[in-house]
Structure 1
Amino acid sequence: MLKKIFRGLFTIIGLILGYLIGGMLLSTRYLAGFSYFKEGTIQGIIFIVFSTLIFGVILFLISPILVSFIMKFMEYVVKSTQKMPTSQIVFGTGGAIIGLVIASLFSGLFNYKSPLWTIIVIIFTVIMIALGADICARKRDEILAFFTSIKKSNGFKDKKIKGFTNENPKVLDTSVIIDGRIFDICQTGFVEGPLVIPTFVLEELRHIADSSDGLKRNRGRRGLDILNKIQKELNIEVEIWEKDFPDIAEVDSKLLKLAQVLNGKVITNDFNLNKVAEFQGVPVLNINELANAVKPVVLPGEEMKIQVMKDGKESGQGIAYLDDGTMIVVEGGRKYIGENIVVIVTSVLQTAAGRMIFAKNKDSLVKS
């Protein structure tokens, strides 16, 4: 049906072209010099009718080739757009319109009508349309997040009066999901706002769970189990982010980009990701830093009863551990391995990896 419509349109275009060209030829000085082909005479009318029919027949005969080319081009466009997200098409179209408006305003400032200027304006218009479409299509997530944040900032004014707060979304990375402590933290209610789980993180978890390495496979399955528990057992909003950033290869870089797009925060226990996020200005909630912050405060001079587990790196040192995993280095504690002793804290060292407590045996201090 569409092919027949196109053939009819091309035939009509051919007839119109034949009529216009015939009239133009009659008005030229070559034919105007012959009284035989003057306008308004029967011969002139026959000439115009003949020209109209000739061009109509020509366009009708070549229309299958033109229609075939148009249909192939349309199929290519349809196949290409099917692979694109709807938002990319919408924002690309909007960007093209904006580029066209800017080009029209620019060209309207000048009234040059030379052929060269016309060519320059056409080239500039095409460039602005392509540039506007490309920029808006690439930055669609940032643009959408910008307008969403404006809407939220206006819409949440009344909600804050009623006790609601505008919480930023929390983007979970692979390591913190496998770690599992995020479930306990969310269960206590200290983390509010929607948890965002990107599909590329789910894909990475699936690859880990399908690994031939038994340890990796167990870690991946544990991560998937934690996600299921978060969705089923916690009274907190969980959102699966189905979009991706094809131009970014690394998962960590995608996480930081997503946090910027959503104006949210990344929850992780990865020390390196934390440093990169700080450099890029992305807010991060580090589970290890939280664990260190909530550990009981130990001050120099306090006494505690511990069991020395093993020897330390330095000569004569013994190593013990608190219930939360904090390591205690006991000076001269090597000879007390396996025994319960009372020690006095001498100093506390806080590092990015955790906290270390240095202590001495109380009996040895009393004797000295």
Structure 2
Amino acid sequence: MLKKLLRGIFSLAGVIAGYGVSEAILQIPSMQQWGFLSNSYEKLLFLIFISLIFGIIFYLLSPKIYSAIAELIDYVEKNAQKLTVGEIVYGAVGALIALIITSILSRPLLSIHEVFGPLIVIVLNIIAAIIGTDIMIKKKNDITNILLSLKKTGTTKEKKSKTTTKSVPKVLDTSVIIDGRIFDICETGFIEGPLIIPNFVLDELRHISDSSDSLKRTRGRRGLDILNKIQKELTIETQIWEGDFPKIAEVDSKLLKLAQNLNGKVITNDYNLNKVAEVQGVPVLNINELSNAIKPVVIPGEEMTVDVVKDGKESSQGIAYLDDGTMIVVENGKKLIGERIDVIVTSVLQTAAGRMIFAKPKES
């Protein structure tokens, strides 16, 4: 049905084209001077004849024209399916910009010739649209990056003295505050705020700092000093949480409950708290795990030089330490206490509590 309809349309177009051609022929001055087709009857027959000839030609050519149009549509569809929506939009914008520019620049060409002038302009517009589409599709990533950078520049505000972000809250444990390394980690920018310091943790620190045991008292005061440094010297946001959980007695359980309520994470170096948090599904950032992760990698078979400083749990073992505090268990090292020896790593044990290296003396 569609083919028949198109054949009819093409035939009609051929008749119209033939009529136009015959009219143009009749307007030729030489035809009028020689007296050809001088009367109206002859002109009418000539118009009908030429129109029918063009109609027949277009009718016969319509299958090929239809096939060519179908192939063109298939080609366009296949290529369009390969393009994303963004590429299609960029291509349309590129074609529109190219057409606007070409239409303005090619306007003087219209006055060259009444037929060839507009034809040249049409061809130039088609070429410009293709080039504009191709350029915009190929450069879409660069253009997107430029637009995003301009948007960010336009919306940038003055930085505040305290950096406030909408990141996950980090609840500080008593042990990690006393440890002190949290200050250095925050200072490097590897942890984003806000840092949550619960009031019950502060109470525990005060209690430890007032202890009769000099070691506990020193540790408690160190924790309070670290908190003071975090609040005064770092740009990271810190918050004191004033609430409490009266029905929960243990501080560790309160920490986990608070982290659940805030949808936050607990920062600790307590191995037992780490395990309990895993059971309860509370995310934990363990400082010891971070420390172990950035220690130099040691593999079995590697050689190193160590100082054996004491005996181990087994009767024949000796203990040595790396500069970062990693313990090395030396087989048959008890008799070498006080000596610097070369050892070969036999295995490495990695846990959340730390890293332990097993080694044996290198044979001379």
CA–CA distance in 1 between the matches of 2:312 and 2:246? Answer: 48
**1:302 aligns to 2:302 (yes or no):** yes
C-alpha displacement of 1:295: 1.3
Q: How does 1:168-247 map to 2 (within 5 A)?
A: 168-247=168-247
Deviation readout 1:95-150 (Å, 9 max, x if unpaired): xxxxxxxxxxxxxxxxxxxxxxxxxxxxxxxxxxxxxxxxxxxxxxxxxxxxxxxx
Shift in CA distance, 308/236, structure 1 to aligned 2, threshold 3 Å: same
- What aligned pairs does 1:1-368 form with structure 2 within 5 A after superposition? 166-362=166-362, 364=363, 366=364
Give SS of 1:309's match.
strand
- The number of residues matched between the two structures is 206
CA RMSD in angstroms, aligned pairs only: 2.2
Alpha carbons of structure 1 residues 191 and 162: separation in structure 2 relative to 1, 3 Å? farther
CA distance in 1, matches of 2:321, 2:177: 26
How much identity, in percent, do the aligned residues show? 81
Offset, 1:165: 6.9
- In structure 1, stretches of 5+ residues that fail to align are 1-157
Larger Rg: 2
Supply the AA of the counterpart residue of 1:191. Answer: I
Q: What SS is found at the alignment partner of 1:261?
A: helix
Segment of structure 1 superposing worse, 162-171 or 228-237: 162-171
Question: How far apart in 2 are the matches of 1:229 and 1:285?
Answer: 21
Distance 1:214 1:244 in 2: 29
C-alpha separation in 1, matches of 2:236 and 2:352: 30
Conserved in 1, the CA contact under 8 Å of 2:317 and 2:333? Answer: yes
* Offset, 1:167: 1.1
Partner letter of residue 312 of structure 2? Answer: G
Matched position secondary structure for 2:328: strand
CA distance in 1, matches of 2:311, 2:249: 44
Q: Deviation of residue 162 (structure 1)? A: 7.9
Q: CA deviation at 1:245?
A: 2.1
Looking at structure 2, the residues matched to 344 and 313 of structure 1 have their Cα atoms a distance apart, in angstroms, of: 20
Dislocated runs of 4+, deviation >3 Å: 161-166
SS at match of 2:313: coil
Name the SS for the 1:308 alignment partner.
strand
Residue pair 2:175, 2:269 contacting (<8 A) in 1 also: yes
CA displacement 1:256-312 (0-9 Å, x = unmatched): 111111111011111222122112211111111111221111011111111111122
Aligned counterparts of 1:162 and 1:254: Cα–Cα separation in 2: 40
SS at match of 2:358: strand
TM-score, structure 1 normalization:
0.53
Q: Distance in 2 between matches of 1:270 and 1:287?
A: 9
Whole-angstrom distance in 2 between the partners of 1:162 and 1:310 = 62
* Code of the aligned partner of 1:241: W
